[in-house]
Structure 1
Amino acid sequence: MRIFASTLLLLAAIPGAPALAQTTCQPGAYAAPDGDFVVLVKLPTIPAPGLRYLFRDGRRGATSDANAPLACNADGVTVKGVAWQPVAFRETPANFDSAGTRMTGMLIEPPGVDPARPLVVMVHGSERNSPIGGLYGYAMAAQGISVFVYDKRGTGASDGEYTQNFELLGADAAKALDTARGMAAGRFGRAGFFGGSQGGWVAPLAATRTKADFVAIGFGLVASPIEEDREQMVSEVRAAGLGKDAEALVTRLSQATTGLLLSDFRTGYDALDAVRREMTGQPWAAKIEGEYSGAIARMPNEELRRVGRARFDNLELIWDYDAVAALKKLDAPLLWVLAGEDREAPIETTRGALLGLVKNGKPFEVYLFPDTDHGMFEYTTNADGSRSATRITDGYLKLLGDWIKGDARGPYGRSEKLTPR
């Protein structure tokens, strides 16, 4: 166990030390007198000594930026001339076994002991980087929540092979919650999961494998990976201003690539060739991506037969995964937050499925943040139609924290609550 507290390097107190040492920010969470917070962490994308900062309202950047809205000093940080104090989290490393694989995690607890404090296991997405020491665990803990983060199998310090098999990942997440409960015994009340992106498939499944008091999801899908691919392509043609004929064509492309995937690339080539012929001469066809269909369509059949499965189907993804069936089995309260303009996980099918489940009596709450892309990022649109993320939309982090604490009363930024509960 170690205590996580952000302080300046002792070098700052040494006479004659470089001026840089007196202003270098240190990783940690810093709390304002009014309860606001900022988290600082090291990221490989930000040159040292700069750190990534994230405020509760979603503003983010590097401490080394000329216009960074905070300054560091010997006692913590100052924001607009107001001192924000370091938060001393209690951090306890953990190892646990799941399906014969040794996993590594960390329990992060806010200062003090509160037997009613919620406990949340962070179920990450498809990324391979470690969440231990990352922004989101500390951003949750800074709101008075105990947090358990762990390295997905085959990543970080966890053993095993990296996979996207939801059943196996769900078993890992369930075991992580059981482990966290044992570690925090007597120091928490309700306990459950938060999952982002791919975690939207895994966290609800995990909650059917072990007792969970709640599940919260951000920018996930209630659709299969096959449906995700199709919806991404439909989103692409709509963004390009193309019509219904283009939408129908990319739908047929998705159907053709589905045949290859579900047959382990043994059959389905005649259907794919037929769609390729339809796409010939369409100036936009070469730019279509989806999750995988664009790349499959541009690869010769002989190459697909030889390496298609190794290229596209080597992570044990359950292509036709029934996300609705998993949610039907879920009895715990659920929060689902949608990014209104999500290009990576388009929301049309997901929104309809969730509202249908609510209509049938499921205790689910659905929020939508407009003008946000995957990750709940606000963005600017570039001349070529691509997007550049600017910040996490205001209200998202606070909504997650309040809802997990059982005290979501809003408003939360520009969010719209789509359900009456």
Structure 2
Amino acid sequence: MKNIAFAFAVALAAIASPAAAQPTCAPGTYAAADGDFVVLALVPSIPAPGLRYLFRDGRRGATSEAAAPLACRDGVVEVQGVRWNRIAFRETPASFDSVGTKMTGLLIEPPGSDARRPLVVMVHGSERSSPIGGVYGYAMAAQGISVFVYDKRGTGGSEGEYTQNFELLAADAAKALDTARGLAAGRYGRAGFFGGSQGGWVAPLAATRTRADFVAVGFGLVASPIEEDREQMVSEVRAAGLGKDAEALVSRLSKATGQLLLSNFKDGYDALGSVRSEMAGQPWAAKIEGEYSGAMARMTDDELHRVGRARFDNLELIWDYDAVAALRKLETPLLWVLAGEDREAPIETTRAALMGLKAAGKPVDVYLFPNTDHGMFEFTTAADGERSVTRITDGYLKLLGDWVKGDVRGPYGRAEHLTAR
């Protein structure tokens, strides 16, 4: 009898507990009367039944967290006691052929029909995960923009081989925009691209392959992949306070590894050996990474001859890609948003190139969010220098939406609108 009473008490406690009483949230986008919104989406990193939430102001987390700033009740979301209703998007699955490959996508349209509504194609970064069903497409659509998301070749529902060949990826993105125009015919006005990270190389190039009315880029680079590697290592030695000699040494390392990559691992070994010798006496050398040079420096010449190309040069990357040349071809308005403390895509070369294009009369808008890392993430820094992401910086998502709509009315969080000198 005691066991039965105990089990009954446990059951009552479970019924009374907030966690058990909280209904499971449904994926979707929920909006307040003032236009604020939150996107709830299934993501592999959050165990079911939890969902990723993303607010317009950049707050993010899991609905299963005790401190989640929302609650789910009767098919709606409550934020601080106020009901936010689900947005009834029109969603149209699509497929299209690009360079002999079948691609899969989804058109997301806000409710109603508006022939002036902007249409944007979301150009992916280097990730292999599908953007279909993710938070970012819906965060753009929640701001009154029609959005086309698609799986890059070799990922999700798209066929072909995964690649990082910018020329091929730009052809895919251009075909995606052509497809989206057809699907949304009569229900859109201006149309163009948004690219994040690696999409900063692909989206502008795609806009030279098809008619586009605008291009927006977040935390991308106006530099080659080889320059990205060098700048990452320079950023690392600066963060460690190692001085100009260390900067010069890692720059030489990147030059040597770049020679290996550009020669299909035939040339550059003597230069790499010389740098290795100098780095051997440096206690910090084992911690240098870059994009790939740190790993190459810690391999022997025999290893690099044998597996270097298979390990580092297997995705058709254009190592010396001329990003500035592609931007010079653009006549369409360009938005570029920089993360001020970007460790993955340091901004020094990119900022200078963009300011040069702006000074030359190109229609370039450049915004910088200080104290943010790659992805426009704010962060905390531990004693060992390790960063922990907290949120997307406030103002970033709204800036993207307003700029695409041609309705920029800052301020946008802590964003700085950069002007040419």
Alignment of 1:2-401 (within 5 A): 20=20, 23-401=23-401
Contact 1:121/1:194, CA 8 A, preserved across alignment: yes
1:180-237, Cα deviation, whole Å (9 max, x unpaired):
0000000000000000000000000000000000000000000000000000000000
Question: So what's the TM-score if we normalise by structure 1?
Answer: 0.95
1:347-406, Cα deviation, whole Å (9 max, x unpaired):
000000000000001001000000000000000001211100000000000000000000
Contact 1:378/1:390, CA 8 A, preserved across alignment: yes
Contact 1:53/1:62, CA 8 A, preserved across alignment: yes
Unaligned runs of 5+ in 2: 1-17
Describe the SS at the equivalent of 1:23: coil
Contact 2:140/2:147, CA 8 A, preserved across alignment: yes
Aligned residues: 404
Contact 2:355/2:420, CA 8 A, preserved across alignment: no
Distance 1:19 1:336 in 2: 42
Distance 2:42 2:238 in 1: 38
Describe the SS at the equivalent of 2:201: helix
Distance 1:158 1:70 in 2: 35
**Alpha carbons of structure 1 residues 140 and 244: separation in structure 2 relative to 1, 3 Å:** same
Contact 2:56/2:139, CA 8 A, preserved across alignment: yes
Q: Which runs of 4+ in 1 moved over 6 A?
A: none
Deviation, structure 1 residue 108: 0.3
Contact 2:26/2:75, CA 8 A, preserved across alignment: no
Deviation, structure 1 residue 264: 0.3
Distance 2:21 2:333 in 1: 48
Q: In the alignment, does 2:406 pair up with 1:403?
A: no
- Which residue identity is paired with 1:202? V
Distance 2:88 2:383 in 1: 45
Distance 1:125 1:211 in 2: 22
Distance 1:22 1:274 in 2: 63
Deviation, structure 1 residue 75: 3.5
Describe the SS at the equivalent of 1:152: coil
Distance 1:233 1:79 in 2: 43
**Fraction of identical pairs, as percent:** 82
Distance 2:75 2:326 in 1: 48
Contact 1:129/1:155, CA 8 A, preserved across alignment: yes
Question: So what's the TM-score if we normalise by structure 2?
Answer: 0.95
1:106-159, Cα deviation, whole Å (9 max, x unpaired):
000000000000000000100000000000000000000000000000000000
Deviation, structure 1 residue 22: 5.7
| 2:413 alignment counterpart | 413
Contact 2:359/2:420, CA 8 A, preserved across alignment: no
Deviation, structure 1 residue 253: 0.3
**Alpha carbons of structure 1 residues 123 and 21: separation in structure 2 relative to 1, 3 Å:** farther
Describe the SS at the equivalent of 2:295: helix
Deviation, structure 1 residue 21: 7.7
- Which residue identity is paired with 1:303? E
- Which residue identity is paired with 1:231? E
- Which residue identity is paired with 1:366? V
Describe the SS at the equivalent of 1:228: helix
Deviation, structure 1 residue 46: 0.7
Distance 1:419 1:84 in 2: 39
**Alpha carbons of structure 1 residues 278 and 98: separation in structure 2 relative to 1, 3 Å:** same
- Which residue identity is paired with 2:246? A
Contact 1:119/1:147, CA 8 A, preserved across alignment: yes
Contact 2:39/2:54, CA 8 A, preserved across alignment: yes
Contact 1:22/1:74, CA 8 A, preserved across alignment: no
Q: Which has the larger radius of gyration?
A: 2
